[in-house]
Amino acid sequence: MNDVVNPDTYERLALTAHDNGLYVLSLNRPEKRNALDVVTIEELIRFFSGARIAGVKAVVLAGAGDHFCAGLDLVEHWKADRSADDFMHVCLRWHEAFNKMEYGGVPIIAALKGAVVGGGLELASAAHVRVMDDTTYFALPEGQRGIFTGGGATIRVSDMIGKYRMIDMVLTGRVYQGQEAVDLGLAQYLVEGSSMDKAMELASKVAQNLPLTNFAICSAVSHMNNMSGMDAAYAEAFVGGIVNTQPDARARLEAFANRTAARVRPNDG
Ligand code: 1HE
């Protein structure tokens, strides 16, 4: 077994393998509401750096206990009494982890419940799909804690909900939940039952796509969003050239041509 998918090699993460290369990766420190300490971030870097090569086809990202994630481990940060230089490097490790997630090419579906706050929201926003349930709530309490964001909220949360809503969340501590959170873009799905069940359903479906196609969807789109329109169109043509001619796609195209493939219908998905 590739060490990256060996659950025994993680202290802060729980990892379970399911069919078709689907893995559930859970933050596993519920007694501290899955607060992100240095060890957790290093383990996220390790997992997401090696996931693709280890054959991971899709990941459901979850949190053990009642809360997804309480953000930065404030107690560790307080006790360490870090210098600016030290904390800048902490933030750079967070970016390493979250960029590996967003740009790594392995689909990540976040199953959100309870608190998704501060760095917990930054973590969730590096996933490709977010599923929430009626316990889930989002906040950026940094303003109240006397600190600032450091794990990409200025980029990804702004991108999801707009700059001024993100500023309001940090300034005032505003909490979003329920349908309003979906309408704003903090999650794509709100379910009545368990966010985990829906995330598993979506991830199982996604894991059936061709890996190269998923790589393009879960890497190229983010890269292209960083480019000018002209450069993105050029890059899209290149990626399309490679992905849309992959040998493994031919059987799927042939099935469509032979009328054996499913058609797209209203109420699908
Ligand atoms: C923690 C943390 C944490 C809980 N760091 N230890 N994040 C926040 O400002 C959110 C802080 N946490 C909370 O508001 C609440 O804990 C929760 C709403 C998430 C959960 O409430 P509750 O009542 O279920 O739990 P609790 O009693 O507050 O906490 C249980 C334990 O978890 C307790 O430890 P104990 O040893 O006293 O039992 C808490 O200290 C511990 N705990 N949250 C450390 N965050 C790169 S910059 C990113 C900047 C940020 O992320 S700022 C946002 C920080």
Tell me whether residue 238 is exposed, middle or buried, using C-beta atoms within 10 angstroms of its C-beta: 0 to 12, 13 to 18, 19 or more: exposed
| pLDDT, position 214 | 98
CA-closest candidate to residue 62, choices 204, 192, 208, 194: 194
Q: Establish if 155 belongs to a structural domain.
A: yes
Mean pLDDT by 10 residues, the chain (269 residues): 95 97 98 98 98 97 98 98 98 98 98 98 98 98 97 98 98 98 98 97 97 98 98 98 98 97 89
Containing structural domain, residue 238: 227-257
| pLDDT, position 54 | 97
How many CA atoms does the CB half-sphere of 19 hold within 13 Å?
6
Task: Give yes or no: residues 26 and 124 share one domain.
Answer: yes
In the three-class reduction of DSSP (H, G, I as helix; E, B as strand; rest coil), residue 176 is classed as: strand
Q: Establish if 268 belongs to a structural domain.
A: no
31 carries an active-site annotation? no
Whole-structure pTM value: 0.98
| pLDDT, position 160 | 98
How far is ligand 1, taken at its centre, from the CA of residue 32, in Å? 6
Q: Establish if 34 belongs to a structural domain.
A: yes
How far is ligand 1, taken at its centre, from the CA of residue 175, in Å? 16
What CATH number does residue 138 fall under?
3.90.226.10
| pLDDT, position 267 | 84
Mutation choice for ligand 1 from 33, 88, 144, CB with most ligand atoms inside 8 A: 33
Residue 35 near residue 29, CB atoms below 8 Å: yes
| pLDDT, position 38 | 98
**Domain count across the chain:** 2
State the Cα–Cα distance between residues 249 and 247, nearest whole angstrom.
5
Q: Establish if 196 belongs to a structural domain.
A: yes
| pLDDT, position 257 | 97
